Amino acid sequence: MTTQVVWFKRDLRISDHAPLANAAAAGPVLPVYVIEPDYWRQADTGARHWAFIRESLVELDHALATLGLRLHVFKGALPEVFARLHAACPFAAIHAHEETGNAWTYQRDQAVSRWCRQTGVAFNETPQFGVVRGLRNRDHWAGHWERRMKAAPIQVSDQKGIAATTMRHNAGDEALVQPLAIDALPLEGLGAGATPCPGRQPGGRAAGEALLSSFLAERGQTYRQGMSSPLSAAHVCSRLSAHIAYGTLSLREIVQTHRQRWLAAKAEAPHSHWARSLKSFESRLHWHCHFMQKLDDEPSIEWRNMHRGYDGLRDESHTDPERLAAWINGRTGLPFVDACMRQLAHDGWINFRMRAMLVAVSSYHLWMHWREPAHHLARLFTDYEPGIHYCQFQMQSGTTGINTLRIYNPVKQSRDQDPNGIYIRRWVPELDALPDDWVHEPWKMPASLQRHYGVALGEDYPWPVVDHEQAAREARARIKAHRASRDLAGESARVRRQHASRAPAPQRPKRQRKSAAAPGQGKLDL
């Protein structure tokens, strides 16, 4: 029997892992992870991504040890690493999950596929999510997703029977890139964004399992009511998004475990907070794959407008450096916006409504093209998932042509989600002394009150970079003028045909509680 390579990427687990099971059935197994320096130089990579991955790799190695295997971590470019590995330890196949990544990983996978064909090595890719590779339209996509989520998780049939491959190390052989010791993986130096992230959630499957358990046992009860406010979202949301992004848990495992809990809650009290919250959570799991499917179908969404009729709406060639710096550093002078950006930089996570608001402010109030802000937020999100990120960025920036224009009012969001200014004072301590009446809009304070409270605008805290109300009006006018200047209907029809959901709109009560997320606003709070 010939060696089978299992190439781990965004699937850092052994449970429900089809490539591992398929490899184990075919021959001796060589588990491999490759640190690719060129990938970590991309504009959307961050040091916090690597920190999460590193912790997950250490735990993955321990899990593989229970199967009698060892994780071999190499550093170098692909497919060159595979070529050197094949020369030292010939293998018959590479088993991997399909990946809906950025343009760089898409091209990398194509290069690996070409090398395999040229070398006579089989390249066996297996779907991991509900994404259907080569899908012609969305007509039956929901059925594909449901069948995959209902299928039994794929496990290695006989753990004790897995054969491990021992790599040969010939004296004087310099062709092979030597594997890195698991306990000596680089701690830093990877990722285009090296922003410290002291509040980052830890990686590894054990942490993911603990989050899933606590969410289904207690934290998720008020999920629908609490997911929109940054004061409560960190607790009531599952916080599983990073574990889904890097595959320490499989989406199918989460769906099936969740459904068991939902059925129990429904049996106990069909209309309880628990039942409604759990049902709402499952819809987010479905939307996760819905957005990833968009990028898989049209990879160019990463770098150009989904709706080509919006080309030229904003100038991509020039982004105002002062506005960008103010937004990045949480110094816009809009307290709630600044608080959200500072929390995100510190924790690597923030709830979806606040993510949408940050994008809206950059796109409408500051009138920046979405590309550079998208790269910055990608570097900050520990749970960065390209397939979701770029599609959502375009949706919130108004360049899809098929979604409702949402220009979030940052002051309204502040008063709605943080009425007493608790969140603002936590993350913008410069305003700690201000009473509730002024903390949301400090620029309206007379100079006498500024002196009274010891907050000098322009010195202790900046004046707003824009008048948010005037900026919103100007953005609407610009978009209206752009739409009037060209025929967008044909391109809108193409986008809708290729990317729009075919699922019927849910029946909603005539009067909806303010705490419930409006359509399109809370779809991805995981």
| Residue range 175-224, pLDDT digits in tens | 556 788 888 888 887 888 778 899 999 999 999 999 999 999 999 999 99
- pLDDT above 90 covers what percent of the chain? 76
| Peptide linkage before 462 cis (omega within 30 of 0) | no
Residues linked to residue 32 through DSSP beta bridges, in sequence order: 7, 72
- The residue whose two tokens read 């019927």 is 504
Lookup: tokens for 311: 């080309």
Dist CA 402 CA 96 (whole Å): 35
Tell me: pLDDT of 514 over 50: no
* Terminal-to-terminal C-alpha distance of the chain: 43
DSSP 460: T
Lookup: tokens for 190: 């990877």
Pairing between strand 91-97 and 122-126? Answer: parallel
Q: Determine the pLDDT at residue 175.
A: 52
Alpha helices in 98-250 (DSSP H): 103-119, 141-150, 205-217, 223-226, 233-236, 241-245
Would you call 468 helix, strand, or coil by DSSP? helix
Q: Determine the pLDDT at residue 508.
A: 45
Kindly report, residue by residue over 408-442, the tens digit of the pLDDT. 999 999 999 999 999 999 999 999 999 999 999 99
Q: Determine the pLDDT at residue 521.
A: 40
pTM for this predicted structure: 0.92
- The residue whose two tokens read 């109030």 is 365
Cβ(58)–Cβ(13) below 8 Å: no
- The residue whose two tokens read 């030229």 is 312
Lookup: tokens for 194: 């090296």
Q: Determine the pLDDT at residue 156.
A: 86
State the Cα torsion 54-57-62-63 to the nearest 10°.
140
Go through the domains of the chain in sequence order and give each one's CATH number. 3-128 (3.40.50.620), 205-298 (1.25.40.80), 302-499 (1.10.579.10)
Tell me: pLDDT of 406 over 60: yes
Dist CA 475 CA 132 (whole Å): 37
Dist CA 499 CA 421 (whole Å): 39
| C-alpha 230 chain-centroid distance | 18
Dist CA 116 CA 19 (whole Å): 16
Lowest mean pLDDT among 113-117, 121-125, 153-157, 216-220: 153-157
